[in-house]
Amino acid sequence: MNVYFIGAGPGDPELITVKGQRLIRACPVILYAGSLVPAQVLNGHRASRVVNTAELDLDAIVALLADAHAKGEDVARVHSGDPSLYGAIGEQIRRLDALAIPYEIVPGVTAAAASAAALGRELTLPGISQTVILTRYATKTAMPEGEALADLARHRATLGIHLGVRHIERIVAELLPHYGADCSVAVVFRASWPDEERVTGTLADIAPKVRAAGLERTAMILVGRVLDAHSFADSTLYAKD
């Protein structure tokens, strides 16, 4: 019996991996984060038990995993995006290790990747940025030393911020000294979902644009010169020499 932590991708049911889809359709037990994973991701399943874990705490979730293990049943534990990134699987894995329950992680498409695709942009351009920093805005959970937004902004790399759109004004204030008011910003709400929305601008005007659009959650913030760069060197990947 295995627990499969499956990344369902950012929202579009077709962005789940072939392996993830195969496991969802094969496992007799499915636990999925119903507040973030669209029900269509589960299409074609033949599971005898399907549980929406949106309202369950960690103890209740682990109890379901342990019960399936005792019955010899594989479990598809379905998370949004990629489960290794803000998926809260670390605490589940720690419990599974203590119970000697085997598991496997099946990666998924991230919100950052889906947002870049929606914008039609490459996040790493020669001479502009070769580094992408993915982070979150500190609210309930404090950031470790050295990972405050202002510390990361000093690199002036392409920046992807999760879980922060409600605090867009504070984010802008912390980024301005490092990126400059004319630096491009894009906020992508529910990337790849049918109701996806995109708000673009600069650090000078993105906050009022976001407020006007009414975006308060489930949005990715991308910051960096790559978003509006038109003058950059070709990569060496396809060079004739």
| Three-class SS of 83-148 | CCCCCCHHHHHHHHHHCCCCEEEECCCCHHHHHHHHHCCCCCECCCECCEEEEECCCCCCCCCCCC
Question: What pLDDT shows up at residue 26?
Answer: 97
Residues of the chain with confidence (pLDDT) below 70: none
Q: Tell me, what's the pLDDT at 82?
A: 97
pLDDT the model gives residue 39: 92
Tokens 């351009």 -> residue: 125
Q: What is the pLDDT of residue 235?
A: 85
pLDDT in tens, 150-161: 999 999 999 999
Residue 116 and residue 206 in one domain? yes
**H runs (alpha helix) in the chain:** 18-26, 58-70, 89-98, 111-119, 149-153, 168-179, 206-213
Asked if residue 89 and residue 129 are part of one domain, the reply reads: no
Give me the residue label for tokens 């991708």: 9
Last residue of a domain, one of 106, 122, 157: 106
Q: Assess whether 166 and 196 both reside in one domain.
A: yes
Whole-angstrom distance, CA of residue 157 vs CA of residue 160: 10
pLDDT of residue 142: 79
Query: What is the structure's pLDDT at 65?
Result: 97
Q: For residue 68, which of 93, 43, 51 has the smallest C-alpha distance?
A: 51
84 to each of 15, 95, 105, 197, how far by Cα in Å?
Answer: 17, 16, 8, 25
Task: Using the Cα atoms of residue 60, residue 66, residue 69 and residue 70 in order, give the sign of their dihedral.
Answer: negative
The CATH number assigned to the domain holding 7 equals 3.40.1010.10
Distance CA 112, CA 148 (A): 19
- CATH number assigned to the domain comprising residue 184: 3.30.950.10
Claim to verify: residue 18 and residue 121 sit in the same structural domain: no
What domain range is 91 assigned to?
3-106
What's residue 139's pLDDT? 74
Q: Give me the pLDDT at residue 231, please.
A: 79
Q: Are residues 81 and 118 in the same domain?
A: no
DSSP conformation class of 13: G
pLDDT of residue 236: 85
